[in-house]
Amino acid sequence: MAHDPNCIFCKIIQGEIPSAKVFENDHVLAFLDISQVTKGHTLIIPKTHRQDIFELESDIAANLFRVVPEIANAVKKQTGADGVNILNNNGKTAGQTVFHYHMHIIPRYGKEDGFH
Ligand code: 5GP
Ligand code: ZN
């Protein structure tokens, strides 16, 4: 299904829950994580509901990954970070808590930025 009515990120896509948008096109949305691990912590999601990497068809993945460098560059530039970590949890045992596929972009500011 395109949207899951019980999914918090689908609600964000549909504007039912507000978010601080960083990037948007027809296929992809990027917005600030509500719980900022470091300043500028951003999530990138496909606009089609897929639970995790195991459900992600290659065309949806391609549309997503096509814009990841642009979003990473924008986050790096806007925050003044030195670098970024890009992370993706798949499955409860791997630490996934929201079951709509997403990538974390975590800006890094040096040894004391609190993220390990
Ligand atoms: P996961 O643990 O599944 O890899 O990451 C889920 C992320 O979604 C967490 O970092 C959490 O802070 C974020 N998150 C959960 N609910 C919301 C929300 O309503 N809005 C935003 N912007 N982020 C959320
Ligand atoms: Zn969803």
**Looking at residues 5-20, what average pLDDT do you find?**
97
What pLDDT, on the 0 to 100 scale, is given for residue 2? 86
What pLDDT, on the 0 to 100 scale, is given for residue 18? 98
What pLDDT, on the 0 to 100 scale, is given for residue 14? 96
From ligand 2's centre to the CA of 82, what distance in Å?
31
Whether 114 maps to a domain, the answer reads no
Tell me if ipTM is over 0.90.
yes
Whether 87 maps to a domain, the answer reads yes
Enzyme catalytic residues = 102
Q: Give the CATH number, domain containing residue 19.
A: 3.30.428.10
> By CB neighbour count within 10 A (0-12 exposed, 13-18 middle, 19+ buried), where does 26 fall?
exposed
DSSP letter at 37 equals S
Whether 1 maps to a domain, the answer reads no
From ligand 2's centre to the CA of 70, what distance in Å?
23
Residues with CB under 6 A from ligand 1: 8, 17, 19, 31-35, 89, 95-98
Supply the range of the domain harboring residue 73.
Answer: 8-108
Domain total of the chain: 1
| Inter-CA distances, 88 with 1, 23, 91, Å | 22, 18, 10
Query: Which of 91, 99, 101 is closest to 44 using CA atoms?
Result: 101
From ligand 2's centre to the CA of 51, what distance in Å?
7
Residue 43's beta-bridge partner residues?
A: 31, 104
Global pTM? 0.97
Whether 35 maps to a domain, the answer reads yes
Whether 113 maps to a domain, the answer reads no
The per-residue pLDDT for range 60-80, each reduced to its tens digit, is 999 999 999 999 999 999 999
What pLDDT, on the 0 to 100 scale, is given for residue 1? 59
Distance CA 77, CA 64 (A): 20
Instruction: Please state the atom number of ligand 1 nearest to the C-alpha of residue 96.
Output: 3
Instruction: Please state the atom number of ligand 1 nearest to the C-alpha of residue 31.
Output: 22
Distance CA 41, CA 85 (A): 10
